[in-house]
Amino acid sequence: QVQLVESGGGLVQAGDSLTLSCAASGRTFSTYAMAWFRQAPGKEREFVSAITWSGGSVDYADSVRGRFTISKDNTKNSMYLQMTSLKPEDTAVYYCATRSSPWGGSHYRERSYDYWGQGTQVTVSS
């Protein structure tokens, strides 16, 4: 069992930066990869970024590539999403997720992940 808690969301102005954190607890040793997803008002949940437990492989959605940076610190059992040049369209609830196996689905699909946090709200004003 893995528990995930997101934090760091808030209200910022377009062009600002913000860093989200995801604290993991429980059986983190069984985690293969972690990811960030987001869901904007009126839209479906979408992939943002993913990273393997070792930190050796990362990926980003085209909409955030070049602006967001995913990282993790295994000594703190935490994952981070550094967001820069924020845009109003980045406004969404951001979710942390983990998967225990590299098999069973692509890293950018919701169905590939086993555990989810409750989300943290990011609002970017014009």
| The pLDDT of residue 105 is above 90 | no
Grade residue 74 by pLDDT with cuts at 50, 70 and 90.
confident
Provide the phi-psi class of 104: left if phi over 0, else alpha when psi is between -120 and 50, else beta: left
| The pLDDT of residue 123 is above 90 | yes
What pLDDT score was predicted for residue 39?
Answer: 98
pLDDT mean over 8-13? 98
pLDDT, one tens digit per residue, over 23-61 is: 999 988 889 999 999 999 999 999 999 999 888 899 999
Concatenated DSSP letters of 72-118: EETTTTEEEEEE-S--GGG-EEEEEEEES-S-SS-TTSGGG-SEE--
Q: Which two tokens stand for residue 16?
A: 């600002």
Sign, Cα dihedral of 107, 113, 115, 118: positive
